[in-house]
A = this chain, B = another copy of it.
Amino acid sequence: MPLFQPLPGFQDYLPEALARRNHVFRLWRQTARAFGFAEYDAPVLEALDLYKAKSGEEIEQQLFSFTDKGGREVALRPEMTPTVCRMVGAKAGSLKRPIKWFSVAEFFRYERMQRGRGRSFFQLNADIFGEPGVEAEIELIALLIQCLAAFGLTAEDFSVRLSDRNLWMHYLQGLGFDEPRVHALLVAVDRHDKQGDAAFQAYTDQFGPLDPAAKAKVLAFLGIKGLDQLTAALAPAGNPALAARLADWRKLLDSLAAMGLAEYVAVDLGVVRGLAYYTGFVFEAFDRKGDLRALAGGGRYDDLVQKLGGPDLPATGFAIGDMTFELLLEQRGLMPALVRAADLYVVLGGEAERRAAFADIHALRAAGHRVEYPLRPLAFAKQFKAALESGARLALIYGADELARGQVKLRDLAGRSEREVPRDQVAAAVRDFLAGA
């Protein structure tokens, strides 16, 4: 019988791989907590309807969906946003606002296989509910930057490109496009970076050829890379709503600059995000060298909680994926060597000494020390070899002679010094050695 394999696109995490993933998750969690976000978790499986017509076409086509034994249409979650909206929507009355939540969780999309992409992957999701102002974006973009910078990445390694679906909609409506056409054009803008002119094909198929003058304006707008340029393109003088929106832009950029984060942030109207539910500021984090997929993305989705049956609750959030991010850390040499080492290794003279050592072995482990010993009888030389391989700094030697004197030998494996301690002082001697050495 051939050996079973993991399914295509799914990954086994052997201890070395899991240590890398755990390192990433640990720093993400620590950073999100420093920013005052509370961790939540949620089911892996949800009602299929939660994603239909909300997540956008691309995600819908990639769902792992099926009918369960109770006849329910269900899906493995492809993203966290609909779930966290459902959760917050149910408890909105009892939660103190602003609600600042984060999670580190697994997601599933049936995608074509490629580098930096699996059918299962993990994301940090961070969201703020109940804050309609740009103060939520300030907090979230600062958190996003710190979640990458905490690993040693700098503004030379990545940038956060900032855009605004609200302004895009205003601009396109100003050019005379109706809502379905605006939607189709935003899809084209989203794809333009990768597909160039072909990005407009879906629009053309649906609504006929795009007027060349209008198309030139769309291309000029998506090429905007600065706030002055944006202000000029919009001519907001006569429009108080537009002027207020540009004031939000200035507040956002000035606040991030006040935090010392200006060099991480770039205005880039070419970003609009594929997900269907965004309504305001949107942003993506990219590797500066540009050969990897987006590291992270997010934006404001003020309508989604209500669309899922909850109260009217403004919301902004982002997600960082683990796969592209781990690739970037590896490329930059920022993934540390994660060594799992024992604290001490117990060397056993024989089976009687094994029995005698068991009480200390268990007590030392219960005290939190990492203790290894040979499960099988092993010659002394092989035990000392195993002790060195275990990474332990200390060996405890239970020999017949020492035990007869009520003693145990302590060997400092690095210093190669030895001394005997009375058996009832083993725990204290180990604690002192590991704390002090």
A binding-site residues for B, Cβ under 8 Å: 1-8, 10-15, 18-19, 21-22, 30-31, 33-36, 38-47, 49-50, 64, 66-70, 72, 74, 76, 82, 86-87, 89-91, 96, 98, 101, 106, 108, 110, 120, 128, 131, 133, 135-136, 139, 142, 146, 149-150, 254-255, 258-261, 307-310, 340, 342, 354-356, 358-359, 361-363, 365-366, 368-372, 375-376, 389-390
Q: What is the CA–CA distance of A44 and B128 in the complex, to the nearest angstrom? A: 29
Task: Identify the closest chain B residue to A12 (Cβ).
Answer: B87
Task: Identify the closest chain B residue to A311 (Cβ).
Answer: B3
Once A14-B87, A368-B30 are accepted as A-B contacts, the answer to whether A308 and B362 lie under 8 Å apart by CB is no
Residue in B34, B41, B255 whose CB lies within 8 Å of A365: B34
Cβ of A22: which chain B residues have Cβ within 8 Å of it? 39
Tell me what chain A mostly uses at the interface: helix, strand, loop, or mixed. Answer: mixed
**Distance in Å: Cβ of A309 to nearest Cβ of chain B:** 4
Number of copies: 2
Cβ of A136: which chain B residues have Cβ within 8 Å of it? 375
Task: Identify the closest chain B residue to A84 (Cβ).
Answer: B12
**Distance in Å: Cβ of A113 to nearest Cβ of chain B:** 11
**Distance in Å: Cβ of A88 to nearest Cβ of chain B:** 9
B46 near A7 (CB under 8 angstroms)? yes
Cβ of A131: which chain B residues have Cβ within 8 Å of it? 375-376
B14 near A355 (CB under 8 angstroms)? no
Q: What is the CA–CA distance of A45 and B258 in the complex, to the nearest angstrom? A: 46
Task: Identify the closest chain B residue to A15 (Cβ).
Answer: B38
B139 near A10 (CB under 8 angstroms)? no
